[in-house]
Chains A and B, each alone.
Chain A
């Protein structure tokens, strides 16, 4: 049951017939894992907290550095050197005190299976293939939907993974033992913002079970030319992870 204050706070989104009071209660009862608190995770965490998602489990092992501040809008100069999960938890709590924040300063590759337990949905906001693969494995293993997002300079990608029903990360990017070495990936704040905004929208749609999720499609964003393009995908019959589901 929503309080009078909550009804006022969320009024604008509750005006949407797809949300209403019932939808808002669904959000309040949801727990989302934000895996990675860089550029993508910053924005998704803020949008989901602001929208009234009941609990956010936030995971990252890093500390805030100066070169993060061009895009990681959860943090300020006062946070430099602080553990990201600590700084993020404070900021998110200030944004919405009703949202329970569960911070985990851990390596997502190592802890994916534990992090995901008890969550209704995962936002993949990580910054490397290994972490994405680990999260996908955990999400598919537990049957938890995941919203994948990635950026590289002016480009971005979003897709929604519903295990057993749509293509998973491994379907599209099978582990062929040829992962490229780590590299510093260029990142422009507003491009990160576009991708995270699409991810957050997809997350809310899934939690609310409204609209059509962006499953079996890769949204490819090229901000330098303003091109938004969808590549149609499907489950890979040879997928080592989900073909048998």
Chain B
């Protein structure tokens, strides 16, 4: 099993350890917004899944800041 994998985060290639979790990525990117939208392979990720959901080679993730203005 590989020690590291390649994923795409916000359109850019990233090399991360295998079994890296969403929470690890949020920390790595310094995302602080409590309402951050995390999209994992086109699907919304609930906040309660951040600590348990891991990423796999080739996965695509987007960190999106929500828009709450009117």
Please list the residues of chain A having a beta carbon within 8 angstroms of any beta carbon in chain B: 36, 38-41, 125-129, 132, 149-152, 155-157, 167, 171-174, 176, 178-180, 185-187, 218, 220, 231-234, 236, 238
Determine if B68 and A232 form an interchain contact, defined as CB atoms under 8 angstroms apart. no
The answer to whether A218 and B47 touch across the interface, beta carbons within 8 angstroms, is: no
Known: A179-B34, A218-B37. A238 touches B67 (CB 8 A): no
A178: chain B residues within 8 A (beta carbon):
34
Does the CB pair B64–A176 fall under 8 Å? no
Q: Which residues of A contact B66 (CB under 8 A)?
A: 150, 152, 157, 173
Partner of B70, one of A36, A179, A218: A36
B46 proximal to A (CB < 8 A): yes
- In the complex, are the beta carbons of B46 and A185 less than 8 A apart? no
Contacts of B2 in A (CB 8 A): none
Asked if A231 and B70 sit within 8 Å, CB to CB, the answer is: no
Q: Which listed residue, B34, B47, B69, touches A185 by the CB 8 Å rule? A: B69
In this complex, the interface size class of chain B, counting residues with CB under 8 Å from chain A, is 10 to 19
Determine if B67 and A234 form an interchain contact, defined as CB atoms under 8 angstroms apart.
no
What are 25 inter-chain pairs, A to B, with CB distance below 8 A? A38-B70, A40-B70, A125-B70, A127-B69, A127-B70, A128-B70, A129-B35, A150-B68, A150-B69, A151-B67, A151-B69, A152-B66, A152-B67, A156-B67, A157-B67, A171-B46, A180-B33, A185-B68, A218-B37, A220-B37, A220-B64, A231-B44, A232-B42, A233-B44, A236-B48
B17-39 toward A: CB 8 Å interface, digit per residue (1/0)?
00000000000000001110101
In the complex, which residues of chain B have a beta carbon less than 8 angstroms from the beta carbon of A186? 69
Give chain B residues whose Cβ lies under 8 Å from the Cβ of A152: 65-69
A231 lies within 8 A of B68 (CB): no
A38 to B69, CA, bound (A): 9
B30: min CB distance to chain A, Å: 15
B62 nearest CB across to chain A (Å):
8
Q: What distance in Å separates the Cβ of A130 from its nearest Cβ neighbour in chain B?
A: 10
Q: Are A236 and B46 in contact (CB under 8 A)?
A: yes
| Known contacts A152-B68, A218-B44, A236-B46, A231 near B39 by CB under 8 Å | yes
Chain B residues, CB < 8 A from A185: 68-69
Interface pair A231/B37, CB less than 8 Å apart: yes
Q: B44 — which chain A residues lie within 8 A by C-beta?
A: 167, 172, 218, 231-234
Q: State whether A126 touches B70 (Cβ < 8 A).
A: yes
The distance from the CB of B33 to the nearest CB of chain A, in whole angstroms, is 7
| Beta-carbon nearest neighbor of B42 in chain A | A232
